Structure 1
Amino acid sequence: MKIGILATGITPDELLGQHGSYADMFVQLFNQADVCFEYEVFEVRDDHFPASAEQCDGWIITGSKFNVDENRGWMQQLKELILEIDGTGKPLVGICFGHQIIAEAFKGKVEAFDGGWGVGLHSYQLSGENSFIKNDVGSFTISAMHRYQVTEKPVNARVFAESDFCKYAGLVYGDNILTFQAHPEFNVSYETELVALRKGEVIPDDTADIGLASLRQEGAATDSVQVAGWMADFIRQQA
């Protein structure tokens, strides 16, 4: 099964050599979850788009340093591709920026959150319709790195994960689109280095310190491998 990774961003230069690109992180995560996909990466932020939604069996949209309200030309083209993918019924997974631009494509509202940045390890409660999750769990924890979030969900989206900080942390559209606001592909080491790198410059000191405390506490860990299994099951079922 071939998965097209629509890369809307890339790891900061200071961390790229050690941790790889965002696209690399998805491949590494699925490998850790013993999921065997083939991959093709499309650097859509550099206007490298697939010829059509039919080019791959399933799709993933990565996170990005860009905000959806910048409405760059490649973002407009990506929203058109999102609708095209949906029209084919092929599975699509969106992460962080991907979660947000999918919501925008379906007329939801995305904006800078009044509560500020969400960084570090965040836990989310499962709710609503989540039949694609086979594990008997009520919550999961993964890395967060965002100032923007979906504040009004599209009418065709269902909530499957939420928190006090992020009301629409996980959304499902129909049977073929699954999105997460936070980052299952970010491990604790990368998230720690990223928050430390952006502290003060991008992320307010006090917010960064709270995030770093969650990452540096004894036993700090994510449920990323479990979430990768959910994503893989969702993709396989809908392909």
Structure 2
Amino acid sequence: MLIGLLQCDDVAPELIGRHGNYPTMFQRLFQRVDPDVRFRVWRCLDGEIPTDPDAVDAWMTTGSKFGVNDGHPWVDELAAFIRLLWRHGKPLVGICFGHQLIARALGGAVEKSARGWGVGISFNRVGERAEWMRPWQEALDLVVSHQDQVVTLPEGARVLAGSPFCPAYLMQIGDHFLGVQGHPEFARPYSADLMALRRAAIGEERVREGLASLAAAADDELMARWILNFIHHARSRPPE
């Protein structure tokens, strides 16, 4: 499977030597689950927006330090490409910023949460069991790093998992779009270093809570398996 990775940020220079950049993180994770998965990267943050929905088998959007409401031209151009993928029925999975941009591009709304930063491991309950959720479990615990959240779902979306802190954590739209607020590609050591780097912005108390949460296991490989199952399911749909 060839996945088009829509890269929307770079790892901070202070951390890239130890952890690599975001495409490397995605490659590491998904090749642990399926060695045949390959990625082709478009640097959307530099204005490199694809135009051909059929260039790859499926698409994935990374996280970003930028916000979907910040008014950057490349974000609006990427939103237009997301709408093109929607119209063509192409599989797309949005991670964090990508999850939020899918919602906004299709008519939903994203806002900075009054609950503050989500950092460390987030603990979520899966409220609806989809057929691609194999192997099945009721919890979905992933590393997070975000302030914004989806507050209004686009038409046709349904929430599959969430928590009191982030109710719209995992959403599916139709048969071919999936968004998750968490970062399955983030290893826990990277989460710790990222919190330390952003300590002043996040706040000391929230950083302490986030670091403590990293003692828990993360469902990163499970989420990667679910994502690949979802893509296979979306690609096997009969044409409309």
- TM-score norm. by structure 1 comes to 0.95
What is the CA–CA distance in structure 1 between the aligned matches of 2:68 and 2:38, rounded to whole Å? 28
What amino acid is the match of 1:210? E
What is the CA–CA distance in structure 2 between the aligned matches of 1:150 and 1:192, rounded to whole Å? 25
In structure 1, the partner of 2:238 is none
Secondary structure in structure 2 of the residue aligned to 1:53:
coil
Secondary structure in structure 1 of the residue aligned to 2:69:
helix
What amino acid is the match of 2:211? L
Say if 1:129 and 1:159, in contact at 8 Å, map to a contact too.
no
Within 5 Å, which residues of 2 pair with 1:90-129? 90-129=90-129
In structure 1, the partner of 2:142 is 142
In structure 1, the partner of 2:152 is 152
Per-residue CA deviation, residues 93-115 of structure 1 (Å, 9 max, x unaligned), is 00000000100001111010011
Q: CA deviation at 1:71?
A: 2.0
In structure 1, the partner of 2:162 is 162
What is the CA–CA distance in structure 1 between the aligned matches of 2:204 and 2:27, rounded to whole Å? 32
Q: CA deviation at 1:237?
A: 2.0
What is the CA–CA distance in structure 2 between the aligned matches of 1:101 and 1:139, rounded to whole Å? 24
In structure 1, the partner of 2:218 is 222
RMSD of Structure 2 on Structure 1 (CA): 1.1
Name which of structure 1's ranges 176-185 and 125-134 shifts more when overlaid on structure 2: 125-134
Aligned with residue 227 of structure 2, among 225, 231, 239: 231
How many pairs were matched up? 235
Per-residue CA deviation, residues 118-153 of structure 1 (Å, 9 max, x unaligned), is 101111111135221022311121101000000111
What is the CA–CA distance in structure 1 between the aligned matches of 2:35 and 2:191, rounded to whole Å? 23
Q: CA deviation at 1:155?
A: 2.1
In structure 1, the partner of 2:73 is 73
Say if 2:125 and 2:139, in contact at 8 Å, map to a contact too.
yes
Say if 1:5 and 1:59, in contact at 8 Å, map to a contact too.
yes
In structure 2, the partner of 1:206 is 205
- 1:20 paired with 2:16, answer no
Secondary structure in structure 2 of the residue aligned to 1:133:
coil
Say if 2:27 and 2:38, in contact at 8 Å, map to a contact too.
no
Say if 2:25 and 2:186, in contact at 8 Å, map to a contact too.
yes
- TM-score norm. by structure 2 comes to 0.95
Secondary structure in structure 1 of the residue aligned to 2:115:
coil
Q: CA deviation at 1:35?
A: 4.3
Unmatched 5+ residue regions in structure 2? 236-240
What amino acid is the match of 1:183? H
Structure 1 stretches of at least 4 aligned residues deviating more than 3 Å after TM superposition: none
Identical-residue share of aligned pairs (%): 38
Unmatched 5+ residue regions in structure 1? none
What is the CA–CA distance in structure 2 between the aligned matches of 1:197 and 1:21, rounded to whole Å? 16
